[in-house]
Structure 1
Amino acid sequence: MYRKVIFPVDLSHIDQLTKALATAADLAKHYGAEICYVGVTGEAPAPGARSPADYADKLAAFASEQASKHGVTTASKACVSHDPSVDTDKTLMSAINELGGDLVVMQTHAPSAMDYIWAGHGDTIAAHADVSVFLVR
């Protein structure tokens, strides 16, 4: 049913993704699908990476760790944005389409009052993606 699972990941919040990572791995095993971890970074140095190339290396290492941990096939794609705080959703949507993913698995949070003003990334992706989106709380 699924052949490529796209998992948007923020490397600075790995500790908050445990449940969604396990869900994606379980689905990938069940369907024999690949998981592609997609991250968005800026062009300027950031606390997690000195450059886009450094970020890509860290994301690839994370994907490799997940493959070993869960026994699934993984890949990674680091996307560079001029301003990740503004265009992360647009950048993720482009990556989902480019990679040909047929399922997106994302960690999300419980809704709060602020979500009525600014939608979270998961809400936006679920509303606009042409593929199934599984939001994990």
Structure 2
Amino acid sequence: MYRKVIFPVDLTHIDQLTRALQTAIDLALHYKAEICFVGVSGTAPSALARTPQEYESKLAGFADEQGKAHGLKSSAKACISHDPSIDTDKTLLAAIAELGGDLVVMQTHTPQALDYIWAGHGDTIAVHSKASVFLVR
């Protein structure tokens, strides 16, 4: 049913993505689908990586580690944005379409008052993506 599971990942908060990550892995294993870890980073140095190339290498390493640990086909796509704080949704939507993802699994949070004014990343992806979207709290 699903061929490619897309898992947007923020490597700086990987410890907060445990439930969603396990859900994505379980679904990829169940459907014998590839899982692609997509990350969005800026061009400026950060605590995680000094350069876009270093970020791409860390994301690829994470994807490889997950694939080997769980016995599934994995890949990574690092998307570099000039301003991730405003471009993340647009960048993720473009990556999902480019990669041909048919299922997106994302971590989300309990809705708060501000979410009724500005949609979260998961909400925006669910509304605008052609892929099915599974939001995990």
TM over 0.5: yes
* Alignment partner, residue 34 of structure 1: 34
* Alignment partner, residue 90 of structure 2: 90
- Residue identity opposite 1:122 in structure 2: G
Q: Distance in 1 between matches of 2:99 and 2:53?
A: 19
Task: Give me the TM-score of the superposition, normalised by structure 2.
Answer: 0.98
- Residue identity opposite 1:33 in structure 2: A
Q: Distance in 1 between matches of 2:22 and 2:69?
A: 10
Report runs of 4+ in structure 1 exceeding 4 Å deviation: none
Q: 5+ residue gaps in structure 2?
A: none
Task: Give me the TM-score of the superposition, normalised by structure 1.
Answer: 0.98
Compute the RMSD of aligned alpha carbons: 0.7
Question: Matched residues, percent identical?
Answer: 72
Q: Distance in 2 between matches of 1:47 and 1:119?
A: 27
Q: How many residues align?
A: 137
Q: 5+ residue gaps in structure 1?
A: none
* Alignment partner, residue 3 of structure 1: 3
Q: Distance in 2 between matches of 1:66 and 1:101?
A: 18
Question: Which whole-Å deviations, capped at 9, do the CAs of 1:41-69 have from their partners, x for residues lacking one?
Answer: 11111111101000000000110111122
* Alignment partner, residue 81 of structure 1: 81
* Alignment partner, residue 52 of structure 2: 52
* Alignment partner, residue 117 of structure 1: 117
SS at match of 2:5: strand
